[in-house]
Amino acid sequence: MAFIYIDFTYIDFKSELVFNWFILLAFYFLIFGQIFQLYNLNVSNNRYLVVSATVLTAFATTIFYTFTPFLSPILPQNRLQIVYFFLILFIPIIIWRFAYMSLIFSPKYFKSVLFIGKSDKIEKLLHKINNDSFHNIATYISDKEIDGIKGFKNINNTKISKFIDKNYITEVVVSNKGLSEDNIKLINKELILLFEQGVNIISYESFYEEVNARVPREYLNHNFYKHINFSKNNTNRFYLFGLRIVDIIVSFIGMLFFITLLPFCLIGNLFANRGPLFYTQNRVGENGVIFKIYKLRSMIKNAESNGAVWAKKNDVRITSFGKFLRRTRLDEFPQFINILKGDMSIIGPRPERPEFVIDLEEKIPFYAIRHIVRPGLTGWAQVNYPYANTIQEQETKLRYDLYYIKERSAFLDFKILIKTITTVLYFRGQ
């Protein structure tokens, strides 16, 4: 249609290379769609964010596509063709997204969930999914009503089965913790019948892991091996070899980029940091081996003259230039040297300091498990959680790391990499 109505000639649809061109276009669009969160369900119900994500995705795709002429069509002499190309990408997507929001993205298409469990156990999770964009709490059967959550039914005098067909339940989430034996027996009898009818029944812990992308606290007990198993990729030689190749390639590119920015870093450090630009620090690596990590200094000199202290949000020890380095993640670029040396990987749990590790291993069960894999420049905990400066927050970050170790895969690594790029582009670094 564009070829007919607006004289669009940038892509020659009769060319033998047109299939290759469309493959490249789809690749660019999918990559930038991920980076600018075009496929984020939490963005799908906000018109402003949808327009913003679509514009950025279409614009970035247009720029990269037109400036790779050896892979894409030759750059047109009439530059108006590039504007047409952008509009052809933008307009159909924005029309589809608005139609999706109006016709498809409706509560009646959400996953309809029935919860069973004690109120103090399920309350936080109910509040979390009550505000998300793809779950509908049809009913919750509990010991008492939870403020702000509709659909309460008393666990002592309610039959589960009568709510299934009435509310079009697609999933039943069950937590047995704290329930009496009589309650558990009655619930299990009904659940067996529902299971026979094809109703999906999962544990509270599995649902928690699915929603939060971290392992629940309940897994960190003497039966941890029932729930936390290493991903098969931890011993998959092909995966590990591929990851190492990616580490080396990305590190070389990162170092070249860093070298081009180094003069600006030196000037910024001279005026707003005053002191050494680089510093090294001991960190705990794979299998507990200590190594020296390289970073750009972002704190005042002698920031830890009184002993090691966790960094935190709005830390007063961070210099004005240091704040810029941290927000753009430039302070982490020297760690590409650690990656090339084999101390670290691009993706993995962030390496912690030995002083903190000793304390954390004493206070948090199974903290040492995170050292089973090579530490990373970025990781699942880093893209999902800010700085942790308390034991409780460190435990939460650990549960993200354990999720990564449990689900480790090329797809999850790619997802972390994309989320890291998004974090840098939107200045979400600390």
309 and 401 part of one domain: yes
280 and 395 part of one domain: yes
Is residue 354 situated within a structural domain? yes
Q: So what's the pLDDT on residue 77?
A: 75
Residues 6+ apart with CB under 8 A from 305: none
Both tokens of residue 127? 């509040």
Q: So what's the pLDDT on residue 37?
A: 78
For the segment 55-108, what is each residue's pLDDT rounded down to a tens digit? 989 998 998 898 886 788 887 777 788 888 889 899 999 998 888 777 665 555
Pick the closest to residue 350 from 370, 328, 333, 368 (CA basis): 370
263 and 176 part of one domain: no
CATH number at residue 127: 3.40.50.10700
175 and 280 part of one domain: no
Query: 212, 244, 261 — which closes off a domain?
Result: 212
Is residue 226 situated within a structural domain? no
Is residue 225 situated within a structural domain? no
* Exposure of 42 in the CB half-sphere (CA atoms within 13 A): 8
Is residue 116 situated within a structural domain? yes
36 and 122 part of one domain: no
Query: 104, 134, 169 — which closes off a domain?
Result: 104
Q: What is the pTM of this model?
A: 0.80
67 and 138 part of one domain: no
377 and 409 part of one domain: yes
Is residue 404 situated within a structural domain? yes
112 and 94 part of one domain: no
Residues 6+ apart with CB under 8 A from 296: 265, 269, 277, 278, 279, 325, 330, 331, 333, 334
**Phi then psi dihedrals of residue 23, to 5 deg:** -65, -45
For the segment 188-210, what is each residue's pLDDT rounded down to a tens digit? 988 898 888 888 899 999 999 98
Query: 71, 104, 137 — which closes off a domain?
Result: 104
259 and 388 part of one domain: yes
Is residue 221 situated within a structural domain? no
User: Averaged in consecutive runs of 10 residues, what is the pLDDT profile of the chain (430 residues)?
Assistant: 62 83 90 82 70 89 85 80 88 86 61 88 89 78 90 84 75 89 88 86 91 89 81 88 94 94 91 87 94 92 68 76 87 95 95 92 89 94 84 92 92 88 67
97 and 125 part of one domain: no
Both tokens of residue 252? 């070389």
Is residue 223 situated within a structural domain? no
319 and 416 part of one domain: yes
302 and 395 part of one domain: yes
Is residue 227 situated within a structural domain? no
Q: So what's the pLDDT on residue 353?
A: 92
Query: What is the span of the domain harbouring residue 16?
Result: 2-104
Count of structural domains, the chain: 3
